[in-house]
Structure 1
């Protein structure tokens, strides 16, 4: 669904005011990035990824069907305005639309954290050829997502504007049904990961057991810590993890006392080394995860401050006028262009220098993405400086093209690298959860962007000053805001490099 048109629909069809429409949109968008925690928990703990995708994609389809009905069935369609009089929709009309909308948010919560990791599950990590192909899978997965985003942001919006919302909602509903059918057709050939129980419960068990035994001394030999014999893990569907020396306090959860012999009987008192290492992996990944928040703060400017900047530029190109918001699709086009370039050109060249089959490691790739995103906002600042020098003669909006393309390039490096990193490093029984946590950084990045804008507006308007971001940008200093983001991004990159250099990868049996 083209979410770009959601605010317009709320305003023009449901006759909501600007504040109400914006609030409903941001609430729904935030929900779309919180519900993956629900889907991930169900997938890792009880249902498995296949069943979770099947159930939640069906919910998504039903949500889209409800939106289609609300825009095509007369009794469900909100009334049209008559002149300046806009009758309010009835309660059933509201319900059909918003129930459908939040069914989509719930459905997305089961699809987003599972579909990429389920796809990667189809590759055997023990086979060198398949392991290399798995790296390519993440690239082409993002490629397909952005192709869909490009179509929804252009073709579907055009259809909605020219043929109505009924057809505009009906087309994606049809293709979702087609996608679900295609998913089920391949059921006989899929590889399945068995759910291993609640990962959050296991993490809490480690913390509780370690706290209970806080006064117990750790043995000098880590092999004396509790673990099942052989290669079988106590966590179903997972592989045993080797002991690591970090966060040694948690190891106390694996100390065997004289009256303890079977951890399965006392899960809140005695935990296996593998269970303890699961929590350690999450703690080691946390700083890497946190650096993604600032990255997505930069990406959030595509739909906020970059558009504000474009609104004061000359959007007349020959006989055409380019809406400033349209340029935000350039980062999507950039991703579509960059994925083949990365696969066919960057990887072979990088392989010669790094000796790595995939050219760069996941962490190296993420670092490059963070660097490119820093350059993107720096370029935006330079464009703004140039624009202010040209006032009152407006610059061409095409000056913004480089910053949008740089953000798109940063996504190819950072986002794909992040997805691959969390999949490979997460314990098998926590892969969906880690994917959901990675998606959470998108929402947190948007919230941080709003917080920074609010803080800048408050601090720079004291004493009657117009501030950095006034209504008339000709009187402001938007370039300083972009330089602030560039400084935050550079600091974030430095933190990431430090964390990445100290990061210790997991070891499995």
Structure 2
């Protein structure tokens, strides 16, 4: 078999038996329904448990508003930090398929334990007249279950989207175009799961019981496992390339050892193996770029560099460029943190705000505040097809680029949209506080005479921002990552959500500390009718605006990666990125 044989994929992927993947029998859209169904079920389980978690903390663990919100954001943040561990294991040792399979088991164990804390006597907190009084041990078991789930999700989140994208061979133009659409429909499947979770499951938790509300996600997660394994014969697999941390360390050490040397003007003199494949298993060669020239010193060949070559003294251009690619991603990555802080308000401040509003639909049915996130989900479900089928073709005619917008432009549009979500939330809070004053309801436990459905615009705007920024991030970090570090770079993009949640916790803590001095109630007291939650939303709007300005400067500086087996026509991103 020759490498150019069109029967086989040309990106190094293999079938389930480790043989070169046959193009017509594996991958492409034929393999994706199993991956998308797995992701839909897993997200249904996750959001079914997390969407209403702030109310579970308040009602069953007897925690105040600020403490409950911080516990949820801390846990949610951890769910987006653990992917770094799962991604490292996938890229270095197990591969994406086996990593997903292993961590799903941990995930299910956590869900089962959480279900038991809400349904099994002794583990369930005792409640009298609506007031629960959990023991320290009972509270601890809840958090053990939650953080087992956080660990389990760490092996799934960074690998599933990358594993799905692996099913499309970039060397084939038709498959390359389909891969771009895959990320849109991947995010669409996430939100189908979230739609069911934020409507049906939240209603079950509030009206039937938390045992059923957590038990159903455990069952659904089991279905996700079955779906994933059913597609096994069709999957394409990228070989793990060894520890990316070791390779990064080798480039740094080798460049430091040769810090006194000058990089030759002729970059062809830098070290690279003569073989078609790079020394990194499962990775194509990368072409040289001019940034971070100090790192090029690691590829300078000296008389002391003899066979066998020590990777701690001499690295290939591909290995150097692998590190450069990650370094270039970091500033773009950092600008996603504030966006994720805005996104995180849907599970905390939006819910607390909604708890005070009139939830009734007719005389008997009322919608839980946490269920309003359904409108974020509906927004995504509406916007994904519009973006994929209408906006992209229109933008393609205007820009001439296959993707319509560059990935950087797409993310930037989402950052702008997110500012308006905080403006909408702040305006609603101003109106809410005026109604409190007009009706003298400062200490009233009754719902305010304003419908909870006035929250819909802020949720809907966040959903629109997600379609541009979060999906753009998924594609951008996969596309710009070195082949052997794609899980890790996908995990890196997810950590913006983690740090966004942690930043939210820091902001709430700092704001509460500053605004409660001298005996004041502060912006976010337990009784929001006497607080100023609107000030918190204005703060986030200003931070989002500053973040967007920083993003514009960083995006103009960014240079896209190039591989040696394709023509490099991306150039500098002086127009918010010039990738087609």
Determine if the TM-score, normalized by the shorter chain, exceeds 0.5: yes
| More deviation, 274-283/65-74 | 65-74
User: Distance between the aligned counterparts of 1:383 and 1:86, measured in 2?
Assistant: 32
**Aligned residue among 243, 247, 251 for 1:206:** 251
SS at match of 1:147: helix
Q: CA 1:253/1:79 → structure 2, altered by over 3 Å: closer, same or farther? A: closer
**Which structure has greater helix proportion?**
1
User: Distance between the aligned counterparts of 1:88 and 1:311, measured in 2?
Assistant: 23
Q: Which residue of 2 aligns with 1:306?
A: 350
How much does 1:504 deviate?
0.8
Q: Which residue of 2 aligns with 1:229?
A: 274
Q: Does 1:452 align with 2:499?
A: no
Structure 2, gaps ≥5 residues long? 1-44, 440-448, 565-580
Q: Which residue of 2 aligns with 1:146?
A: 191
How much does 1:148 deviate?
1.1
SS at match of 2:80: helix
How much does 1:352 deviate?
1.8
Q: Does 1:33 align with 2:77?
A: no
TM-score normalized by structure 2? 0.79
User: Distance between the aligned counterparts of 1:383 and 1:306, measured in 2?
Assistant: 11
**Aligned residue among 478, 489, 493 for 1:434:** 489
RMSD (Å), alpha carbons: 3.0
Q: CA 1:300/1:105 → structure 2, altered by over 3 Å: closer, same or farther? A: closer
Q: Give the number of aligned pairs.
A: 505
How much does 1:98 deviate?
5.5
User: Distance between the aligned counterparts of 1:187 and 1:224, measured in 2?
Assistant: 44
Q: Does 1:275 align with 2:319?
A: yes
Q: CA 1:9/1:316 → structure 2, altered by over 3 Å: closer, same or farther? A: closer
**Aligned residue among 362, 385, 402 for 1:340:** 385
Q: CA 1:457/1:102 → structure 2, altered by over 3 Å: closer, same or farther? A: closer
User: Distance between the aligned counterparts of 2:108 and 2:507, measured in 1?
Assistant: 37
How much does 1:159 deviate?
3.2
Q: Which residue of 2 aligns with 1:412?
A: 467
Q: Which residue of 1 aligns with 2:438?
A: 392
Q: CA 1:354/1:401 → structure 2, altered by over 3 Å: closer, same or farther? A: same
How much does 1:60 deviate?
1.8
User: Distance between the aligned counterparts of 2:451 and 2:168, measured in 1?
Assistant: 48
SS at match of 1:337: helix
Q: Which residue of 1 aligns with 2:27?
A: none
User: Distance between the aligned counterparts of 2:523 and 2:207, measured in 1?
Assistant: 39
Q: Does 1:241 align with 2:241?
A: no
User: Distance between the aligned counterparts of 1:50 and 1:323, measured in 2?
Assistant: 38
User: Distance between the aligned counterparts of 1:388 and 1:191, measured in 2?
Assistant: 56
SS at match of 2:335: helix
**Aligned residue among 68, 78, 86 for 2:124:** 78
**Aligned residue among 251, 261, 265 for 2:306:** 261
Deviations 1:361-403 (A, max 9, x none): 2111101100100122123333344445554155443332211
How much does 1:444 deviate?
0.7
On the 8 A contact 1:78/1:90 being kept in 2, the answer is no
Q: Which residue of 2 aligns with 1:188?
A: 233
**Aligned residue among 332, 338, 355 for 1:288:** 332
**Aligned residue among 437, 443, 459 for 2:498:** 443
On the 8 A contact 2:203/2:368 being kept in 1, the answer is no
| More deviation, 4-13/182-191 | 4-13
On the 8 A contact 1:35/1:105 being kept in 2, the answer is yes
Q: CA 1:87/1:287 → structure 2, altered by over 3 Å: closer, same or farther? A: closer
User: Distance between the aligned counterparts of 1:387 and 1:223, measured in 2?
Assistant: 66
How much does 1:447 deviate?
1.6
**Aligned residue among 94, 104, 126 for 1:57:** 104
**Aligned residue among 247, 252, 260 for 1:215:** 260
On the 8 A contact 1:383/1:399 being kept in 2, the answer is yes
On the 8 A contact 2:357/2:452 being kept in 1, the answer is yes
How much does 1:218 deviate?
1.5
Q: Which residue of 2 aligns with 1:44?
A: 91
User: Distance between the aligned counterparts of 2:116 and 2:525, measured in 1?
Assistant: 42
**Aligned residue among 23, 36, 51 for 1:4:** 51
User: Distance between the aligned counterparts of 2:175 and 2:236, measured in 1?
Assistant: 13
How much does 1:6 deviate?
4.2
User: Distance between the aligned counterparts of 1:284 and 1:321, measured in 2?
Assistant: 49
User: Distance between the aligned counterparts of 1:398 and 1:169, measured in 2?
Assistant: 26
| More deviation, 39-48/486-495 | 486-495
| More deviation, 398-407/412-421 | 398-407
How much does 1:423 deviate?
0.3
How much does 1:301 deviate?
2.1
Q: Which residue of 2 aligns with 1:424?
A: 479
On the 8 A contact 1:78/1:89 being kept in 2, the answer is no
Q: Which residue of 2 aligns with 1:297?
A: 341
How much does 1:502 deviate?
2.0
User: Distance between the aligned counterparts of 1:308 and 1:138, measured in 2?
Assistant: 32
How much does 1:240 deviate?
0.5
